[in-house]
Homo-oligomer: A and B are copies of this chain.
Amino acid sequence: MIIVMGPGHSDEQLQAVVRRIEQMGYSCHLSRGVERTIVGAVGHKDKTPLQALEQMEGVEAVIPILRPFKLASREFKREPTIVNVEGVSIGGPEIVVIAGPCSVESEKQVMDTARAVQAAGAKMLRGGAYKPRTSPYAFQGLEEDGLKILLAAKAETGLKIVTEIVSVGDLEVLLKYADILQVGARNCQNYALLRAVGQAQKPVLLKRGMSATIQEYLMAAEYCLNEGNYDIMLCERGIRTFETETRFTLDLNAVPVLKNLTHLPVLVDPSHGTGHWRLVAPMARAAIAAGCDGLLVEVHPEPANALSDGSQSLKPIKFERLMEEIRRVAEAMGRAI
């Protein structure tokens, strides 16, 4: 931490700040400039928040130097984490595509989709049985019946199951069906849920909150890691900005930023990130060129009849074309799909 003493601060004020910092168990380095004096607080006691020194007389600002995440950082673990999901690796040289409908609606819908995306090269099937809907009046999911449909699709196609958890109370049921537990953007800072999935023996796909800074996002991952679950995957899915042509602004900058900061795999969801099917393929290609480890793509046999997210879902035929396009980009990146 750097504590900046404002112009015109007195020696007494400076001494008081130094005393307080030392009481807190840090040591101090002083640096007197022409217009400011800077106090560097060295040491790291996690639970004493220096930020509140802003309240002391003469202090102009308190500036953090260290990033707060530890287990998620490249400093803690230099090698990339590779998550193994029943033989499918995420975070290694191969790029993994997870595809499927937003919501599980019926057996036929899921089966048709599963066969199509498997044939096109997807390795995992996504589909929500518990849905976090903006409106209480919207379709809320088939719950365990939906999970059973996903399992049947897995039995036939071999696709691994990625499905969302919205409540700690559903964890036990979900553990029986899911291969990857997805935590959605609206629950990115639901710390009770993060702790619960952190205690589970199951890989977690943690989506970025739509207003989570990258630092906050990594702190959310840190909650899971800190409970002992190291199979955490990140997923950029669009942030909130002023632009209204897209539903969210898919922030692909997050891909190289995250790859620099953390060892965890980074996926991208161009369907939720843009909200419009026309934009899914270009942003899927761009995500791979930016260096991501995998994609989440919404596919529905009849998007115009979907019970949720129809406007951003791809028809199977368009998904097939997308797979061809991204294969070429992956190859240009020296990777395979």
Contacts and interface: CB of A to CB of B under 8 A. Distances in A.
Interface of A: 2, 4, 7, 20, 29, 31-36, 38, 40, 42-44, 46-47, 49, 51-56, 61-63, 65-66, 68, 70, 75, 132-139, 166-169, 186-187, 189-193, 209-211, 213-216, 219, 222-223, 226, 239-246, 249-257, 260, 273-274, 276-279, 282-283, 285-291, 303-311, 313, 328-329, 331-333
Contact of A289 (B226, B256, B286): B286
A254 B249 CA distance: 9
Contact of A168 (B44, B55, B168): B168
Contact of A65 (B29, B36, B43, B189): B36
Contact of A329 (B245, B260, B332): B332
B192 A167 contact: yes
Contacts of A274: 253
A317 to B, nearest CB: 13
Per DSSP, chain A at the interface is mixed
A34 to B, nearest CB: 6
A277 B43 contact: no
A68 B136 CA distance: 10
Contacts of A289: 282, 285-286, 288-289, 329
Given A20-B304, A68-B135, A285 B290 contact: yes
Contacts of A192: 166-169
A312 to B, nearest CB: 9
Nearest to A255: B282
10 nearest A-B pairs in the assembled complex, by CB-CB distance: A52-B310, A211-B211, A167-B192, A29-B31, A289-B289, A328-B332, A31-B40, A186-B189, A286-B290, A285-B289
A177 B15 CA distance: 43
A24 to B, nearest CB: 9
Nearest to A306: B52
A54 B280 CA distance: 14
Contacts of A304: 20, 52-53, 55-56
Contacts of A285: 289-290, 333
A189 B306 contact: no
